[in-house]
Structure 1
Amino acid sequence: MLQDLRFALRMLTKHRWFSAAIIATLALGIGINSTVFTLVNAVLFKPVPVAGGDRLVTVLLQNTEDPSQRRAVSWPEFQELRAANHTFEALEAINDVRAVISETDLPPERTNFAWVSSGLFATIGQPPLLGRSFNAADSAAGAEIVLMLSHDLWQNRYGGDRAVIGRTVRLDGHPATIVGVMPPGFRFPNQEELWAPLRPTPAIDKRDNRSLMLYGVRQPGVSIAEANADLNVIMGRLATEFPDTNKNLGAVVRSFHETYNGGPIKVIFLMMLGAVGFVLLIACANVANMMLARAISRGREIAVRAAVGASRRQLIRQLLIESVLLSVIGGLLGFAFTGLGVSLFDEATTNVGRPYWIQFELDWVAVGYFAAITIASGIIFGLAPALRSSRVDLSTAIKDGSPGAGSGRNRLSGALVIMQFALTVVLLAGAGAMIRSLFLAQELNAFVQPDTLLTARVQLPERESERYEQPDARRQFVDTLLPQLRALPGVTAAAVTNAFPGMDHHQRVIEIEGRPQPADATAKLEGTIVVASPDYLRVINLPLLRGREFNETDGQPGSEATVITQSFAQRHWPDADPIGQRFRFIEPQDNEPQPWMTVVGVSGDLEQNPTNADAPPAFFISYRQQPWGWAGLIVRTHTDPAALALPVRSTVQAIDADLPLFQVQPFVVGLDRSIWFLRVFGTVFSVFAATGLLMAAVGIYGVIAHQTARRTREIGIRMALGATTTNIARLVLGRGLGQLAIGLIVGLAGAFGATKLLASAGVLIGTGATDPVLFGAVTSVLVLVGLSACWLPARRATKVAPTEALRTE
């Protein structure tokens, strides 16, 4: 073995340029793979950094007859599940909401806040950095509210002052006392900054008041399926005891990662892992072809080794040691770039709401994966050439230096080239779909003038006993705020809405007057609702095609009105005048109809949900009809929108000092953040596709060039017998173009599957799984690159002089 290693090192240095090409190819393939695995491991596989993180699960309820209908857990149900289960070490409850913390000497601040059961921090083994944790007395009925602060909130709001312990603040207007500060980085479970203990109240004690998600640590050795079965036995008993509130309700237990990183995120990261697997396969196919080509020149050497007694097993071992050595060197070089790739991705996703527990860093799992794929790559690309080269016809090989397996070797090389092109098509389609989506997303709602708009959010507390609990109080706030915003210097228009264009969406079930509801529940009529104040269409520059906008009386009882988009009108009244038509909401919970709304205007189309190609068309209702507490302010200006942030904030604070503004930013900033995933992942997939395309082009060029060089004598004979340059070019191009065509056909089938996955995950915007522009562009790029790679050897072959060709062998 040691002798084989020494010989492999000598061969590496003897053919240094050949070795360098292989090492560079493998460094690229292995480096990209190690980088992406590190990212995927952090998002999907690495346990949450808390005690029992590998056994941490979430619990919700679901309808046993329709599992797609999931809902939160009530306080009484939580108490039953915690007391009666046999599979959990602990089961705790959280209601994560948003809350405003305010004080006399500091401005109010909206925080990610959670009501938690008092044993949560002990369950996950996380003591406070400062002060104390919650205890049972804090969760008693009537107990005063106590708070735990995140380390970031403590530093940013209080400057790290240790005297913060015992400080009295207001939480949504109610007095509360700070009792502890959590360690740096801790924001469990979902980016929380502030925690308070759950306490029994008349409202929370109601069995149908479901607002809690449960977090449990399974006992060692207990699977998720066993925990799920255990809780469903309890839920079955509750369904019998409380049929009015618990009929057809069961529990669903999911892993923590599945809850927070499932859906589109999981699809994207798994597709990234698959994509880099394709890149590595392309690299291995390329290197395998290079090794096959070199095996021809080493035919005499291998035959001599066999002639003096080397067994086929020894020959294979020697060749595999050479390939694994090349792979290890390439892998080490690639791993050196892995840290850079991880760092760049970490920086690109820092400010996009990434959960705190996702830390992109190299660990022993990533190192183990790197070692495994490095060795595996050496074996994968080295095994086939080794098996081919070790099958030697001694008499032929020693006589002419050929191992005598040319046709079989050509078939293997051709198969590898076909595989390279097929995988490259899939990579190009995935990258192209995301890049095309990015461009289309930037062109949506082209009527909006983003450089003139400032947006902000404000949440009016609506919970029981809050000052904005009643709709009239929320209407009054908006009525007071809008005139003051419009009076600010530089402001040309202002409005409120529940959903900014292209960034938010809410759907409601509707009923058209005079039409029966569809019998099939899946065919129910829906619309995308936008709650807006008068002047909203003018603020976003959406043209009014017919009728009028809202006036100051629209939305009041008896004057319910709506402005619909053109697509909404065409869908529901294609052959009638939509003005004056009526429809109403049907609440899904109790199927109770709401007042009829009269269509008073038709606007241009507005895209609210760009990631869903099947989203229903939009319509507008007046904020007076449904004054949501979740309000978006949108201000139009002829100056720099960012310069209005402070005046707008001050205006809101003057009306209510306990109401903070948040997400105060120019419209373009919010729009960019809403499509960050397309920019980041589109770039990543483009790098994969460009790498694969380059490798595939080099691969087919190398194979055609090598095969052409081996046929130099044949070409000379053909030219001597009268073959034209066109005949020779067709001869050389034929094989390469045939491989390209097969690879393209196979690849397009795989590409359709990849784009279908992206579309089903809601990642694509403005394009679908069968976008003809996308597939036409992918086909054109691949054909162009493939033709270029094949044409160069063909052109060189046509310039060979017959007399020189006949002397080559």
Structure 2
Amino acid sequence: MNIIRGILSDLRLAIRTCTRTPSFTITASLTLAVGIAATSTIFAMVNGVLLRSLPFGDPDRLVALYEHHRTIGKQGISAPDYEDWRNYVKSLQGLAAYTEANYFEPWLTGDGGPPEKIKATLASHNLLTVLDVHPQLGRDFTRSDDEGHENSVAIISDRFWQRRFQALPTIIGRSLALDGRSYTVIGVLPPSVRLPDWADVWIPLSNLDTKTLQRRQSHVLNGVGRLKSGVSMEHLASELDTIVSQLRQKYPLTNGPTTYECRPLRDDLSGELRSPLLALSLAVILVLVVASCNVASLLQTRYLAREAEFAIKRALGARASTILRQLVLESWVLSLVGATVGLVMTAGVIVVVRKLSGGHFVRADQLSIDASVVMFAMCLAVLTSVIAAFGPVAQLVRSEHASMTVLKSRAGTPVKRRRAFVFLAGQIAMSMAVVVVAGLLVHDFRSMVNKKLGFKRDDLVTLSISLRPDLYSNDIVVRRYYDNLLARIRAIPGVAASALVSTPLFTRNGGRFWIDGVSEPEPGNFPVAQVREISPEYFAAMGIALVRGRYLDDSDQAPGNVVINQTLARTYFPNDSAIGRFIILGVFGSQRIKHQVVGVVADATDADLSSKALPTFYRMRPANPLRAGRA
């Protein structure tokens, strides 16, 4: 009991000591707060993305599945291939599928609110069954919902329910008009459950258009399966090897260059973030250690100024353990204040991350300061208090019972100077490590920013356009809208050129082709090129230089003339001019289409920042333009 009273007395003394020197206390606490905030923020992200269990039943048995093209790399699964996998893979308790991001972004109208473009996915009826989750309201899809004649139903996310409908309890049975078609809400998912993470609405997979449902070259689905109890990933991979090999033999034209990819669902959801988060974790730990050492230096300096005070206390009978406890408690008070301020800063950073994630940071909206983050911050407070108290405590332990005069005379001895030098050298070493890591990050960032992309990115402005099909159902109206839009943009002072393109920057949109007059490769070995449907001023707007021939204009639309980039020209016309030659598209169909090459332009890295320029051909936008595009 006396020990507790003594600790409480020393704690009150430590608080009074800190409040008597507010400038010192604020400086030391803020120094620790920055380190603790950075570390706690990264821990919250690591905990949310890498450590926290997925909100599905028995998540370790869930696997993500894709197809893999030898040229393109990872790609979605075609609907016919998905059906074959689902029918013949026996290692899985169930295999479900849903469409990729940006495949279906309909306009929501007719619900009493303003029109809104939302993110929706088409999902197989067994998706929630495979994930082992249940709607918090209403019901799941059934097989009859996915059979085509009763497929006008929808399940919505809790986030969408809260935001758009203010958590209306009577949402079940309400109609949603998506691109003018009515869907009845049959369920609302639990708050923590969404796959894919970006989706607001799920509708049955049978709503896919007939062509996509039948074409093996339309890779639009992501697969998720649940392993049977006791079945390993290796057994699943062996089974997929056999099935994929059979499909390659049966459908060589479409499946010849295709294999598969499968990995645990957790790794698939967090794969791109794992390495950056672990690297940031190391960096912020170094920052925290440096901050703690800086505070330790401040405390050590203050200890030297208070040596006379401690010498008097010792002379009056105070035990060394009492002074030691006081020093540790003062350090702990500073660390506790720093941890509290750091948690407030962490909360602010998490709010910013959630708002700016834009759906690119998996499970970002679930990041929060939970009990584990608070406990982590408190552990950091204890750790930093120990590090910060190390300097003064070490000096106290080494001190001998001596007079104030002797203590003062020892303050500048070579031993103390040596210890101070070692302490300072350690700080400098850790600071240099942080600087080196930061320098590497800055170097990589500068390399990315300064990378030559083949087009003029300065003063380049892009925007995405999506027209409501209920208002723009006629192709003539759609074309008139885009023509007027480009004319009005072009009339803005300072605008040099305006154009349309079918695919946004840094997005792949490949198609297989061949060269007319050249012996065809084996089925399934046709090469892939990026396809860009453009309006005439596209090259002027992007600043892509003409190498040979001419640019496209409106007269090239009917004959379907194309312009290719240098990479395609060098690869497939190495010893001859590409001008006047024909490229064959539609190699999968019975009616192939020839397009004459009228120009060659410089390479533009517009499909993927991580790779070099890909073979690309440009053609005029069709007479019946898409209702979604980029300007």
Is this a same-fold pair by TM over 0.5? yes
% of aligned pairs identical? 21
Distance in 2 (alpha carbons) for counterparts of 1:487 and 1:633:
15
1:118-197 correspondence runs (5 A): 118-121=125-128, 123-127=131-135, 129=137, 131-139=138-146, 141=147, 143-150=149-156, 177-182=183-188, 187-197=194-204
Distance in 2 (alpha carbons) for counterparts of 1:302 and 1:19:
20
Give 2:236's aligned amino acid.
Answer: L
Distance in 1 (alpha carbons) for counterparts of 2:72 and 2:528:
21
Residue among 609, 612, 618 paired with 1:621 = 618
Match of 2:523 in 1: none
Change (3 A) 1:497 1:142: closer
1:607-655 alpha-carbon deviations (Å, 9 max, x no partner): 525733x421675421479999695253xxxxxxxxxxxxxxxxxxxxx
8 Å Cα contact 1:63-1:69 kept in structure 2: yes
Distance in 2 (alpha carbons) for counterparts of 1:26 and 1:485:
56
2:347 is equivalent to residue 333 of structure 1 = no
Change (3 A) 1:291 1:560: same
1:386-430 alpha-carbon deviations (Å, 9 max, x no partner): 335412455799724327532431332232331253144136426
2:579 is equivalent to residue 580 of structure 1 = yes
8 Å Cα contact 1:43-1:261 kept in structure 2: yes
Residue 262 of structure 1: SS of its match in structure 2? helix
Distance in 2 (alpha carbons) for counterparts of 1:608 and 1:65:
21
1:432 CA drift (Å): 4.2
1:147 CA drift (Å): 1.3
Distance in 2 (alpha carbons) for counterparts of 1:585 and 1:571:
16
8 Å Cα contact 2:224-2:265 kept in structure 1: no
Match of 1:417 in 2: 427
8 Å Cα contact 1:118-1:134 kept in structure 2: yes
Give ranges in structure 1 of 5+ residues lacking alignment.
461-473, 518-523, 635-809
Residue 601 of structure 1: SS of its match in structure 2? strand
Match of 1:719 in 2: none
Distance in 2 (alpha carbons) for counterparts of 1:19 and 1:380:
16
1:358 CA drift (Å): 2.7
2:623 is equivalent to residue 632 of structure 1 = no
TM-score norm. by structure 2 comes to 0.71
1:145 CA drift (Å): 1.2
1:82-481 correspondence runs (5 A): 84-85=91-92, 92-96=96-100, 97-98=103-104, 100=106, 111-121=118-128, 123-127=131-135, 129=137, 131-139=138-146, 141=147, 143-150=149-156, 177-182=183-188, 187-198=194-205, 212-216=221-225, 227-232=232-237, 234-235=239-240, 238=243, 244=249, 252-256=262-266, 258-263=267-272, 265-297=273-305, 319-349=327-357, 351=358, 358-383=365-390, 385-392=392-399, 399-401=406-408, 402=410, 405-426=415-436, 428-429=438-439, 432-433=442-443, 445-446=455-456, 450=460, 455-457=464-466, 477=475, 481=478
TM-score norm. by structure 1 comes to 0.58
2:566 is equivalent to residue 561 of structure 1 = no
Give 1:182's aligned amino acid.
Answer: V
1:458-495 alpha-carbon deviations (Å, 9 max, x no partner): 699xxxxxxxxxxxxx9x95x87445633567364875
Distance in 2 (alpha carbons) for counterparts of 1:293 and 1:135:
72
Give 2:85's aligned amino acid.
Answer: E
2:542 is equivalent to residue 533 of structure 1 = no
Change (3 A) 1:181 1:293: same
Distance in 1 (alpha carbons) for counterparts of 2:518 and 2:206:
48
Distance in 1 (alpha carbons) for counterparts of 2:600 and 2:260:
45
Change (3 A) 1:397 1:215: farther
Distance in 2 (alpha carbons) for counterparts of 1:513 and 1:389:
87
1:599 CA drift (Å): 5.0
2:29 is equivalent to residue 23 of structure 1 = yes
Change (3 A) 1:572 1:34: same
1:18-56 alpha-carbon deviations (Å, 9 max, x no partner): 4443233223322333334334433443344x4437547
Residue among 495, 501, 516 paired with 1:497 = 501
Change (3 A) 1:427 1:10: farther
1:487-529 alpha-carbon deviations (Å, 9 max, x no partner): 56736487542234x4545567898999999xxxxxx998765
Match of 1:745 in 2: none
8 Å Cα contact 1:549-1:563 kept in structure 2: no
Give 2:200's aligned amino acid.
Answer: E
Match of 1:689 in 2: none
Q: Report the more deviating stretch, 199-208 or 6-15.
A: 199-208
Match of 1:78 in 2: 86
1:521-549 alpha-carbon deviations (Å, 9 max, x no partner): xxx99876533233433455656575422
Give 1:10's aligned amino acid.
Answer: L
Aligned residues between the structures: 590
Match of 2:598 in 1: 600
8 Å Cα contact 2:125-2:143 kept in structure 1: yes
Distance in 2 (alpha carbons) for counterparts of 1:342 and 1:168:
35
1:364 CA drift (Å): 0.7
Distance in 2 (alpha carbons) for counterparts of 1:167 and 1:326:
56
Change (3 A) 1:444 1:275: farther
Give 2:150's aligned amino acid.
Answer: E
1:249 CA drift (Å): 5.5
1:163-185 alpha-carbon deviations (Å, 9 max, x no partner): 88667888778x77525142585
Distance in 2 (alpha carbons) for counterparts of 1:219 and 1:563:
49
8 Å Cα contact 1:509-1:586 kept in structure 2: yes
Residue among 606, 609, 612 paired with 1:611 = 609
8 Å Cα contact 1:295-1:385 kept in structure 2: yes
1:294-340 alpha-carbon deviations (Å, 9 max, x no partner): 44445567778889999988876664444334322332333344333
Distance in 1 (alpha carbons) for counterparts of 2:597 and 2:616:
10
1:440 CA drift (Å): 5.7
Distance in 2 (alpha carbons) for counterparts of 1:236 and 1:525:
23
1:367 CA drift (Å): 0.7
Distance in 2 (alpha carbons) for counterparts of 1:607 and 1:240:
34
Match of 1:798 in 2: none
Change (3 A) 1:604 1:219: closer
Distance in 2 (alpha carbons) for counterparts of 1:8 and 1:142:
72
1:118-141 alpha-carbon deviations (Å, 9 max, x no partner): 343355433253x543224334x5
Match of 1:58 in 2: 63
Match of 1:549 in 2: 551
Distance in 2 (alpha carbons) for counterparts of 1:276 and 1:458:
45
Distance in 1 (alpha carbons) for counterparts of 2:187 and 2:519:
58
Distance in 2 (alpha carbons) for counterparts of 1:84 and 1:586:
39
Give 1:562's aligned amino acid.
Answer: V
8 Å Cα contact 1:36-1:272 kept in structure 2: yes
Change (3 A) 1:571 1:383: farther
8 Å Cα contact 2:561-2:598 kept in structure 1: no
1:586 CA drift (Å): 10
Distance in 1 (alpha carbons) for counterparts of 2:34 and 2:105:
48
Distance in 2 (alpha carbons) for counterparts of 1:157 and 1:308:
72
Distance in 2 (alpha carbons) for counterparts of 1:481 and 1:202:
23
Distance in 1 (alpha carbons) for counterparts of 2:605 and 2:69:
35
1:373 CA drift (Å): 0.9
Residue 118 of structure 1: SS of its match in structure 2? coil
8 Å Cα contact 2:296-2:388 kept in structure 1: yes
1:105 CA drift (Å): 10
Distance in 2 (alpha carbons) for counterparts of 1:414 and 1:515:
71
Give ranges in structure 2 of 5+ residues lacking alignment.
491-496, 521-525
Match of 1:10 in 2: 13
Distance in 2 (alpha carbons) for counterparts of 1:353 and 1:605:
28
Give 2:599's aligned amino acid.
Answer: G
Aligned CA-pair RMSD = 5.6
Distance in 1 (alpha carbons) for counterparts of 2:295 and 2:187:
56
